[in-house]
Amino acid sequence: MTSRIFVSICGFCATAAACSSGDGGATATSSDESRALAETCGALAGRMVPPSSIALPTGGATVSKATVVAASGATPEYCKVEGAIRPVDPTAPPINFQLNLPSQWNGKAVHYGGAGLGGLLVTGVDNVPAASANAASPLARGYATFGSDSGHTGPTPADGSFALNAEARANFTGDQLKKTHDTAQVLIQARYGAGAQRMYFAGGSQGGHEALLVVQRWPSDYDGVVAHSPALSFTMVMIAGNRVAKALYAPGAFLNSNKVATLRSAVLRACDALDGVQDGIVSDTRSCETAFDVQNSRCPGGGEFGDWCLSDAQIAALNTMNTPFKLDFPLQAGLTDHPKWPIYQGAEIVFPFDFGMSPFPSRPPSPFNAGLHVLSDAVIRYFVTKDPNFDSLTFAPNAWRNQLIALSNQTDAQNPDISAFEARGGKLIIVHGTGDFAVNVGLTNAYYARLVSTFGQARADSFLRYYVIPGLGHGAGTFNATWDSISAIENWAERGQAPANLVATDANLTTQGRTRPMCRYPTWPRYTGPNPNAAASFTCVTQ
């Protein structure tokens, strides 16, 4: 990467005209240049990327299609490159990828992360996770963009059957990121005559996990990384999901969607106004821990009396979730604890993690019930036990200790020593929501604390920002936060302008346009008035 930085800036521009801007920005090209770029696009079809150009073992890569896509709306003309990275094991599936090369290139690239257990092609054409409505997509800004299917195809992002193949499993647990990155750089070089001057990564959930993986494993490849709701301890999240499922499958414990609404309403009655305003958002989650008492929602005598109250069996399941979980052995980086789910502090149990989308949880689970069980069940059967017929509701972590440790070391992103990323000038922004019921924000809080312990606060602040947003769920929530992450990360990485006074905008239809300050953890937004819909009316506080 260092050698690329010191190449003349004109080596990274699609045309000589683009270099005249002095910052690698996209500029208009002549009709002759457009025709030439179209010709170079078509020439990529059938191109081979040799195994020697990819740092990890592969059978090389091949471009199957390369076609010019005409400009449409805000999306400019670009060369759509489709291809596959061949495996070493002939029985393993390939890594399918898509690379988008704009005709007016800004000399930079964005690598997109995936979702769930992968299996669906990430095209890189749409905007990055949580992008605000008025923020141009990376492709519209002139970035080359790319993503993959994580090394297998599947009917849903909850299909784990691919993991029975060792190479497919290794690809999903991180290798596909490096292989796709290296392949994209070769093809970017082939199209423009130079590799990307700046490389960024953006992802949420599993993509957020991948964002932290590239920081930890391949720190020299990326100038800036944005990780939303990162499932950084993939293994612990799956074990915790299994624990939740067992609690919900107990007799009488299942909560239908009306029961979930009853719980949500009770939490809001107790906690909504603690931050100074009743707006459907619990911002003062710490005070909410003591303000809310689930027993106030108990049905008479603890029996089942309808959707307006909670039975003892349902409260027992909820209390299990509201209790920390501790393993008897350490996972990667010594992790043994999963924090309690903040269901009594404002976390929103919503689709697709709503317990009540069917009358009772099915066996095997569907995406519409039992919380994270739809993913944890697949991981336990295919990644851990390697037995598709295993009943995951009988899973005992201690009996599978060695397999869980191996999985954690292979896939998790818990390493706090990211000094190599810091040393190369990399910048990292992490964002998580208090309402996330898919990936526990407490895990990210704990990782951030380890980063600060490793580097010290001042040094961590020089390359790291962590924001926790009240009301934000797993990509939705009462406050569906959107913001311009690409501008924030590129301004920091390229111009040394650290993020300051960031504002998130709610994308929900009923509250669309209201804003909140993005408060750096551990601060949270307290209402000071006068306008509950304006970020300026909130102050980030710690008490």
Q: What is the pLDDT of residues 345-391, one digit of tens each?
A: 877 665 333 443 344 555 665 544 556 788 898 999 999 999 999 98
Catalytic residue at 436?
Answer: yes
Q: Which of 275, 279, 436, 506 is catalytic?
A: 436
Task: Supply the pLDDT for residue 25.
Answer: 41
Q: How crowded is the C-beta side of 439, counted as CA atoms within 13 Å?
A: 28
Q: Which of 283, 432, 474, 537 is catalytic?
A: 474
Task: Supply the pLDDT for residue 255.
Answer: 83
Catalytic residue at 338?
Answer: no
Q: Which of 103, 148, 205, 229 is catalytic?
A: 205
Q: Are 209 and 408 in contact (CB under 8 A)?
A: no
Task: Supply the pLDDT for residue 38.
Answer: 60
Task: Supply the pLDDT for residue 522.
Answer: 97
Q: What does the angle CA 434 – CA 435 – CA 436 come to, to the nearest 5 degrees?
A: 95
Q: Are 34 and 40 in contact (CB under 8 A)?
A: no
- In 10 A of CB 252, how many CB atoms? 12
Task: Supply the pLDDT for residue 328.
Answer: 97
Task: Supply the pLDDT for residue 363.
Answer: 62
Pairing relationship of beta strands 503-506 and 481-482 according to DSSP bridges: antiparallel
How far is the C-alpha of 162 from the C-alpha of 93, rounded, in Å? 8
Task: Supply the pLDDT for residue 373.
Answer: 80
Task: Supply the pLDDT for residue 361.
Answer: 57
**Under DSSP, is residue 436 helix (H, G, I), strand (E, B) or coil?**
coil
Task: Supply the pLDDT for residue 6.
Answer: 23
Task: Supply the pLDDT for residue 27.
Answer: 41
Residues of the chain with pLDDT under 50: 1-29, 351-359, 367-368
Q: For residue 319, give both structure tokens.
A: 């209390």
* Residues in CB range of 153: below 8 A, 6 or more apart: 93, 96, 119, 120, 121
Catalytic residue at 205?
Answer: yes
* Residues in CB range of 449: below 8 A, 6 or more apart: none
Dmax of the chain from CA atoms? 81
* Residues in CB range of 483: below 8 A, 6 or more apart: 130, 131, 132, 135, 502, 503, 504, 505, 518
Task: Supply the pLDDT for residue 304.
Answer: 93
Task: Supply the pLDDT for residue 20.
Answer: 30
What burial letters (b/e) apply to 298-322, b meaning 16+ CB within 10 Å? bbeebeeeeeebbbbbbbebbebbb
Task: Supply the pLDDT for residue 488.
Answer: 98
Task: Supply the pLDDT for residue 32.
Answer: 64
